[in-house]
Each structure stands twice: as C-alpha cells, then as structure tokens.
Amino acid sequence: MRILVTGGAGFIGSAVVRHLVREVGAEVLTFDKLTYAGNLANLTEIGNLPNHQFLKADICDADAVREAFQTFRPDRVYHLAAESHVDRSITGAADFVQTNVLGTFTLLEAARGYWSGLDPAAKAAFRFLHVSTDEVYGSLGPDGLFTETTPYDPSSPYSASKAASDHLVVAWGRTYGLPVLVSNCSNNYGPYHFPEKLIPLTILNALHGKKLPVYGNGSNIRDWLYVEDHARALHLIASEGRLNETYNVGGRNERSNIEVVRVVCGILDELAPKSFPHSDLITFVADRPGHDARYAIDATKLETELNWRAQENFETGIRKTVEWYLANEAWWRPLRDKVYAGERLGLLATADR
C-alpha cells in the first residue's frame, strides 16, 4: 500500500506517518512545505526506513503536486497539510485561506486527474481522506455534543478556512465521484506538539519559571484526544470507512483550560519540582477574539461502525506527554530558542484615536 501524506512533518501528520511506516508497514511519501510548524525532527524515528520518502513541496504548487502523484503513484491520500493555529489566523488570515482552501483545491484537482487515469481496480480502491477539525461546528453550550450532522458555524479565520476545505472535498466526491472521506477531530495533544499550543506552552513555560497564560477565566472547554489514538483512527477510517461519509474523532475527555493547566502543573510538581508550586505561575490574560466556549465530540459513529476506541484517557495521555517533553529537550530547545519563544499571539492592534 502506497500512501501520500500531506503535512506529514507536522504534529498530527508526523504521528500518522510514524504509525503507517512502523505499525502498518505502508510505503509513505511525506509531502510537506516545512513551514514554522513542520519539522523533520518529528520524523527522525522513521526517517531512514526504506518504506518512507520525504518531499519538500507546497500543496499550492500544482506542478509539484501533480508530479508527486505521477511519480509516487499512491493508493491513498491522507490530507493533513494546513495552517492550524487559531491565534495566528486572527492576525494572518491570508495564509490560512491560501493553504487550507486553495491548497486543498489544488490537491483535489491533482488527485482527480490522477485517479481518473487509473485502471478500474485501482480506481475503485483509491481513497482521499481529508482531516479536519471540530472547530468548524462553532461553539457548544453547556450541554450536547458535536455529531457528523451538526451544522457548520465557524468562528475564526482558521475554522472558516477548514470549513471551506471540508465543503470542497465533499463537493469533489459528489460532483466528480472522487472517493473521499472526511474526519473532524477534537483537540489533539501528545509528543512533538509545536510549543505555541496550550499544553506544550504550559509545560515549557513552567519548566522555565515563566508565566502560564490562561485566556479569560479558563472556563473554555475542549475534548482532548491523544495524537497517537487519532493516527490509528485516521488509518481505520481510510481503510474501512464508508465513502463520502464524515467521521468525528474525539477522546471523550472534556476538560476546561484551567483544569488542563492545573493538571500539568501537578505532574511537573512531582517530576520536576521547584521551590514553589508551578500553579503559582498561572496568569489570566485577556481572552482572544471569537473564543468558542466549548467543543465536545460524539464519536459514536466511529466507535460503533469501525470499532475504534481511544487507548489513552486524559490522565494517562497527559502524563505521557509531560514525560516526553522532560525527556526530549533536544527536540524542543531549538524551537524555543529560534522559532517561537512563547510570546502571545493573535493580539489585534488597537487603532490610534
């Protein structure tokens, strides 16, 4: 089996690539532009294995995408390449529209051209899995869960761009018959997570004795999914999911942001103690614009149709995550020193009056 993975040097993408190369034994081409969040160090564990190839290229480059299809001849595409940080989308929306919308269009057209030329058996076996987010659904109230039929109601430039890409993929399935599937996941966490996101930012700031910023009063709730559980789910969806269907992937681990930060602090108090509790570093800061109150995924369809279960709950997954960052300073130190030092992102400039 030959699988083209876009965004395979990113956080979730690299977990997918590692799973496919080591556990599945697939031949994998990682296609990644290597923006600030793409990191070849994420693939060190499998980088020299004979069933893995890497191509530095942009999904918006139609020639590069077409050449990858014609040269590698994939049986499947797992599309994870995306700009993904909400805060960065607030002040730099153009990159999100370019990559997430136009890049997905470019990839779909290349996939359609390639797929149309396959022999009947290969054409029937081909799959295009588009990996998206629960943020396309907007904000939940205190009750209820996102299902695959929840109407889209995106709040940020990031979620709007992902919603647009979801619609494109579904349309290419309906209009052209391209064999597509869509997944929408809850918040991922785990090893190799770029330090701008809540959990790794909290871990690294706490290690350095820096303030731990929490937006608003910390009451925003997310459903947390261990990234390796997500990787297994994605391959299962592509292998056994019904064509032209959407599958929600969630960990059934709802936690408020302040709960998450306090749990991380407690584990660090145990594993890397300071002269004071790490929770003393918690600092509440102005909320970000359009901050959705609550996300929660109903993964019943995935669990019942495909018999998927998360292997990690939040307690086991978050401990593994903290332990990984403590043991892998060689991975995160260059990122903190040269790429992102933990500064606040997504702040709107105040107009002069």
* Active-site residue (options: 158, 192, 215, 325): 158
DSSP 291: -
Give yes or no for residue 353 having a pLDDT over 70.
no
User: pTM, whole model, 2 decimals?
Assistant: 0.95
* Active-site residue (options: 27, 58, 135, 148): 135
Extract the tokens encoding 220: 């925003």
- Which is nearest to 296 in space by CA: 162, 144, 155, 190? 144
Looking at every residue in the chain, the average pLDDT score rounds to: 95
Length of the chain, in residues = 353
- For 276, counting Cβ atoms within 10 Å of its Cβ (0-12 exposed, 13-18 middle, 19+ buried), the class is exposed
Query: For this structure, is 135 an active site residue?
Result: yes
- Which is nearest to 132 in space by CA: 28, 21, 247, 295? 247
Per-residue pLDDT, averaged over 82-86, amounts to 90
Report the pLDDT value the prediction gives residue 344, as an integer from 0 to 100: 83
Whole-number Cα distances in Å, 215 to 96, 258, 276, 314:
23, 9, 23, 21
Give yes or no for residue 210 having a pLDDT over 90.
yes
Report the pLDDT value the prediction gives residue 351, as an integer from 0 to 100: 39
Per-residue pLDDT, averaged over 5-23, amounts to 98
Give yes or no for residue 350 having a pLDDT over 80.
no
Q: How far apart are CA 209 and CA 63, in angstroms?
A: 47
Residue 349: pLDDT band by 50, 70, 90 thresholds?
low
Q: Which domains does the chain have, with CATH numbers?
A: 2-193+223-253+291-312 (3.40.50.720)
Query: For this structure, is 287 an active site residue?
Result: no
Model confidence over 216-257: pLDDT tens digits? 999 999 999 999 999 999 999 999 999 999 999 999 999 999
Give yes or no for residue 348 having a pLDDT over 80.
no
Report the pLDDT value the prediction gives residue 118, as an integer from 0 to 100: 98
Inter-residue long-range contacts of 34-39, CB under 8 Å, 24+ positions, other chains counted: 34/9, 35/83, 36/194, 36/339, 36/340, 37/10, 37/11, 37/84, 37/85, 37/194, 37/196, 38/7, 38/9, 38/10, 39/9, 39/10, 39/14, 39/192, 39/194, 39/335
Q: Using an 8 Å Cβ cutoff, are 276 and 337 in contact?
A: no
Give yes or no for residue 81 having a pLDDT over 60.
yes
Query: For this structure, is 312 an active site residue?
Result: no
Lowest mean pLDDT among 81-90, 183-192, 221-230, 318-327: 81-90
Lowest mean pLDDT among 84-98, 104-118, 152-166, 301-315: 84-98
Extract the tokens encoding 153: 């109601």
Q: What are phi and psi of 128, to 5 degrees?
A: -125, 110
Distance of CA 261 to the CA centre of its chain: 20
Report the pLDDT value the prediction gives residue 84, as an integer from 0 to 100: 86
* Active-site residue (options: 27, 58, 87, 134): 134
Model confidence over 257-290: pLDDT tens digits? 999 999 999 999 999 999 999 999 999 999 888 8
